C-alpha cells in the first residue's frame, strides 16, 4: 500500500476516533453538531484530495526524471 495509503488510512482512523469522542461528549444540539461535522468532513476530503494530487505529481516527476536518465544512456 505504501506511505501514501498508510498515511491516508491513519488519517481516516484518527478522524473516526475523534468523531466518536466528539459525538459522545458534545454539549451542542444535534443540528449544530451535524453542521460542524459536515464542515470538518468537507475539510478532510479537501485536504486528502490535495495530498493525493501532490503525491501523484511527485510520482510523475520521479518517473519522468528516471525515464529521461534512461534515454540519455
11-68 per-position pLDDT tens digit: 888 888 888 887 777 677 878 888 988 998 899 889 989 999 999 999 999 999 888 8
Contact 20, 26 (CB under 8 A): no
Count of all residues that appear for the chain in the document: 73
- pLDDT greater at residue 54 or residue 7: 54
Q: How confident is the model at residue 2 (pLDDT cuts 50, 70, 90)?
A: low
Q: CB-based burial of residue 7 (10 Å sphere; 0-12 exposed, 13-18 middle, 19+ buried)?
A: middle
pLDDT tops 50 at residue 1: no
Domain boundaries, the chain: 2-72
Q: Dihedral sign for Cα 37, 42, 47, 48, please.
A: positive
Amino acid at each position: 500500500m505504501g506511505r501514501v495509503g498508510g498515511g491516508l488510512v491513519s488519517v481516516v482512523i484518527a478522524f473516526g476516533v475523534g468523531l466518536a469522542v466528539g459525538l459522545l461528549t458534545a454539549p451542542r444540539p444535534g443540528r449544530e453538531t451535524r453542521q460542524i461535522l459536515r464542515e470538518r468532513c468537507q475539510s478532510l476530503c479537501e485536504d486528502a484530495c490535495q495530498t493525493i494530487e501532490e503525491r501523484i505529481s511527485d510520482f510523475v516527476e520521479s518517473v519522468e526524471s528516471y525515464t529521461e536518465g534512461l534515454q540519455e544512456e
